[in-house]
Structure 1
Amino acid sequence: MLHPLRPFLLAAWVLTATAMEPDQRAAARAELAQVSQAAQTLSRTFELIHEIVGPSVVSIHTSRNEEVLMRQGHRLFVATREVDAGEGSGFIFASDGETSWILTNSHVVLQTEDTRPAKFDRVTVLLNDNREVAAEYVGYDLATDLAVLKVPVPALPAITWADSDGARVGDWVLALGYPLGVGYSATAGIVSATDRSTGIYQGVGGFESFIQTDASINRGNSGGPLVTVAGAVVGVNANIISPNGASVGLGFAIPSNLARRVAEDLVAHGHVNRPQIGVSLEELSPDVALTLGLPQRQTVRVAEVVPGTPADSGGVRRGDVILAVNGGRILSMQQFRARVASLRLEAKIDLVLWRDGGEVPVQLTPVSQEAIAEAVRKAAEGRGVTMRNFGMTLGVDDKPGLVVTAVAPGEAAALVGLSEGDRLLLERDLGELDDLDDARTMAGQRELVLQVVQKGRSVWLRLRR
């Protein structure tokens, strides 16, 4: 049985054993003075980052107008009052002789009405020198959770962008912003992971390839910069994972390459011109990758190539595994989408593919979403519209009418004598047949009366389903 006094005797022994003689203390102090230089250098680095980047960081306050019923004596009337809606952070990324532009998160400056984003009635920006300025919306992009505001204040100090593709786990970073209404704050941490996906933007088909950090990020930090020890912005602080809403060291920032691309497009066009190459992808498990001769890790494979797109003309094939984009390794579809979204239209992109047991380099030039949509439309036209109720498929070409591209044996079309190559010119109720929209309309009918050209002869046929 232990004696009640023994713990105290043990503690006294430990203290005695670790006590230093005066000469030992002097030696320890001298060594501390030497090794603390590194810590002092890091502290000075953080101070300089604050001095350089801090003046570019702003606090953003939103408010909305609400109608309330008021009474004055016996008279009731409706009045409008301004109600605080929320707050967040942002930073100045560009300025000229008249205007300065601020980047923040779209969720900071937008509200949701009937599932649609809506602007607040008033947005106020508190500058680093405590000036309050009314801000104006420039544009927003829900898919990246980014928005740009502008203020009529010239030549405000703008940040410098870092290359987020160069971020590495272990890099020191600072998160700057205005959390929880306490005012400007700086917190330090490291890059905990890169190319991280949390699923938070899945509902809007968004881009997720976050930089994860353990720098403390709380409510109000959204939209503020994540800064490297070189004083350049490597990310836009966007969200956290937490069981209680407070920081637990799981913060996520939108990578600077994507943020810069979106911000500059919003200033130039008011919207984002999203580059695409014309592929659909699928993720492969590590075990499947191993069977293809690749390292046992998740990979991304091309599931489909849209005809007439950069991927098609550049030689990408269905079944190719995408190993890298512009030298950066690709392990997930979100990572690939974010990398391509960071590029500019018409800027060349270098892919490394895995095909038949070897690497295949391919260079492409991305095009706009509209160009890809047009290619998809043309590809769909080439395949035609299948009218299952009538047992035939119709397509279009450079000749008048719709051409029969397939006929199912034993179905209505075959029973009245239609065959591949026949041309449908007219439907009694619809009139002339010009495009696949006409075919889709006919697919919903119960009966068709068609003028058909068969082997150079014009005939009328009735089809019932």
Structure 2
Amino acid sequence: MRPIPTLLTLALAAAFGGFVASGLNAHLDNRAEAAPAPVSIPAASALPASVAGQPVPSLAPMLEKVTPAVVSVNTKQVVRVRNPFFDDPFFRRLFPDVPQERINESLGSGVIIDAAEGLVLTNHHVIDNADDVQVTLADGRTMKAEFLGSDADTDIALIRIPAQDLTGITLGNSDQLRVGDFVVAIGNPFGFTQTVTSGIVSAVGRSGIRGLGYQNFIQTDASINPGNSGGALVNLQGQLVGINTASFNPQGSMAGNIGLGLAIPSNLARNVVDQLVKHGVVVRGTLGIESQNLTQQLAQGLGLSESRGALVSRVLAGSGAAAAGVRAGDVVLNANGQRVDSAQALHNIEGLAAVGSTMNLELRRDGKPLQVKVTLKEQARAVAGDTLDPRLGGATFVDLPESLRQSGITGVLVNEVARGSRAAASGLAKGDIITEASAGEFADLASWKANFQQRPQQLVLRIVRGNARGQLVMR
């Protein structure tokens, strides 16, 4: 085994499941310093309601309607303290009062999107692995929330609260946002109660950020800090256009906001919520292709003027791409009107498209332009090892979390390994990431499955386990 190179990480407010609310008072100092004798200053009068006959613009009327829909989400997780002495009965007898568990608390935000049903939208990372979720309303009421479902790859979660007399927020059309539109962020930063910040839309369709899932972010300079996660990004009409999810600061998220905030578009959130309400899970579609980035040499050989796009390296049998006539060697330059600069960009667009939807692809084949329409088929969510090869019996495989893929890792994840199974006997374990195999090259679960149409004589897997790499010979 050899250590894996450390992955480049972003300073994200989203990174640790909400803001850990502790020690806040230590940063506040209300002591008065000695000062010279006070100078008489005229008392400031209230701001006028109008100037030159024109009303003074204010966000207050809109916010009075919207802020009751933004809530505080507090989570608790019981974590077992890992101490080898606790495994010793003699030690436990000598020190019976030493705690073997601790409770981690974190604080985030949420938005009531259905007042009648008590549905609250928040980030997956805010409630991930929580044993208890409490929601505090703007009027001070606190209640336990029921978990309905979540999608880690888009960082969306849906919970329900049993309260009456709730105020919901109207979902706006995030596709209508333009760079320069004014927006307002509402949440609970750093453990403070409800806080409002404002700014503009700095960019739309932001993607290519390492360490996050499927990406189509709204970027804003409205301050988004730890604790804002899951809160509301609204337009000047008080409509929800985004769910605040992360902020970027090279010095670390706790260093504060530098005007690079990210929000999940409301249209994407609406699609995820609809699936969670109906099915409890999110089902994704797939084109059924593998692709790779273009080098300058490949681009020249394919008659392209620039090395951008996704080069199709494999078309899976029975896929929507195969039915549409896509071939290995085609280069995808645009998908549904969105520019495709790389294989990862195409994968991101594909992952955000619905099952059964049609994707218009602009291709280059032998240097000539070509338009095709591909219907996305349902992506398998898990594959049992014994359906692939008897040597994998007892193991279940799933696609990697999208956050790992965005960090540059490809392969499949071992989701479960049954005790005493053939896979377990060969050393395969839950949590292993399989990056290579003698069965053939693969990038995801679909191509991993396709490789076993003809079983290899010897099955060798290259795996990542924790911070080490190794290989297993499956018997």
Question: Cα deviation per residue 1:194-252 (whole Å; 9 max; x = unaligned)?
Answer: 32322122xxxx31332221110111001112223343333221111111421111111
Post-superposition shift, 1:84?
A: 5.6
Is 1:169 the counterpart of 2:179? The answer is yes
Q: Once the two structures are superposed, what CA deviation does each residue of 1:101-145 show, in whole Å capped at 9, x if it has no partner?
A: 2121121112xxxxxxxx322110012222111001112222222
Alpha carbons 1:276, 1:372 under 8 Å: kept: no
Deviation at 1:49, TM superposition (A): 4.0
Question: Is the alpha carbon distance of 1:227 and 1:329 closer, same or farther for their aligned partners in structure 2, counting shifts above 3 Å?
Answer: farther
Query: Residue type matched to 2:224 in 1?
Result: I
Distance 1:213 1:67, change over 3 A: closer
Specify the alignment match of 1:120 in structure 2.
130
- Provide the identity percentage: 37
The equivalent position to 1:370 in structure 2, one of 375, 380, 384, is 380
Secondary structure, aligned partner of 1:370 = coil
Shift of 1:313: 0.4
Counterpart position of 2:68 = 55
Give the number of the structure whose residues are more often strand, by fraction: 1
CA RMSD of aligned residues (A): 3.9
CA shift, 1:289, in A, is 6.2
- In structure 2, the partner of 1:220 is 227
**1:231 and 2:231 aligned:** no
Question: How many correspondences in the alignment?
Answer: 332
* Counterpart mapping for 1:97-116 below 5 A: 99-110=117-128
**Using the alignment, how far apart are the partners of 2:61 and 2:300 within structure 1?**
48
Residue 443 of structure 1, aligned match among 451, 455, 458: 458
Q: Residue 410 of structure 1 corresponds to which residue in structure 2?
A: none
Aligned to 2:292: 282
Distance verdict in 2 for CA 1:156–1:286, change over 3 Å: farther
- From 169, 179, 194, the equivalent of 1:184 is 194
Q: Is the 8 A contact 1:100 1:155 kept in 2?
A: no
**Separation (CA, whole Å) in 2 of partners of 1:167 and 1:336:** 23
| Cα pair 1:176 1:186 within 8 Å, conserved | yes
Residues 370-389 of structure 1: matches in 2 within 5 Å?
A: 370=380
Q: Give the drift of 1:297.
A: 7.6
Please state how far the C-alpha of 1:368 moved relative to its aligned partner. Answer: 1.1
Instruction: Give the AA of the match of 1:61.
Output: N
Q: Which sections of structure 1, spanning at least 5 residues, go unmatched?
A: 1-31, 111-118, 379-434, 446-465
- 1:275–1:341 Cα contact (<8 Å) kept: yes
**Contact 1:58–1:126 (8 Å) recurs in 2:** yes
- The one-letter amino acid of 1:323's match is L
- The answer to whether the 8 A contact 2:292-2:311 is kept is yes
CA–CA separation in structure 2 for the residues paired with 1:79 and 1:329 = 55
**Structure 2 residue identity aligned to 1:443:** Q
Question: Structure 1: how far apart are the matches of 2:295 and 2:60?
Answer: 45
- List gaps (5 residues or longer) in structure 2: 1-49, 87-93, 389-450, 461-475
Aligned position for 1:208:
215
- CA distance in 1 between counterparts of 2:154 and 2:226 reads 19
Contact between 1:208 and 1:338, CA under 8 Å: does it hold in 2?
A: yes
1:286–1:295 contact (8 Å) kept in structure 2 = no
Residue in structure 2 matching 1:94, options 107, 114, 123: 114
Q: What residue identity is the alignment partner of 2:121?
A: L
1:226 maps to a residue whose letter is: L
| Structure 1 counterpart of 2:208 | 197
For residues 57 and 286 of structure 1, the distance between their equivalents in structure 2, rounded to whole angstroms, comes to: 49
CA contact (8 A) 1:65 1:80 kept: no
- Is contact 1:193-1:212 (8 Å) kept? yes
Whether the aligned pair in 2 keeps the contact of 1:354 and 1:360 (CA below 8 Å) is yes
Deviations 1:415-442 (A, max 9, x none): xxxxxxxxxxxxxxxxxxxx969954x5
Residue in 1 that maps onto 2:280: 270
Q: Secondary structure at the match of 1:180?
A: helix
Indicate the SS of the match to 2:329.
coil
Query: Does 2:147 match 1:129?
Result: no
Q: 1:334 to 1:158 in 2, by over 3 A?
A: farther
CA distance in 1, matches of 2:95, 2:307: 73
Distance 1:366 1:443 in 2: 34
Letter in 2 for 1:254: I
Summarize the alignment of residues 7-18 of structure 1 with structure 2, pairs less than 5 Å apart: none
Matched, 1:312 2:325: no
Give the TM-score of the pair, scaled to structure 1.
0.61
Q: Does residue 336 in structure 1 map to residue 346 in structure 2?
A: yes
In structure 1, give the amino acid aligned to 2:244.
Answer: N
State the alpha-carbon separation in 2 of the partners of residues 184 and 367 from structure 1: 43
Higher relative contact order (CA 8 A, sep 6+): 2
Cα distance in 2, alignment partners of residues 175 and 437 from structure 1: 51
Query: For residue 118 of structure 2, what is the amino acid of its counterpart?
Result: S
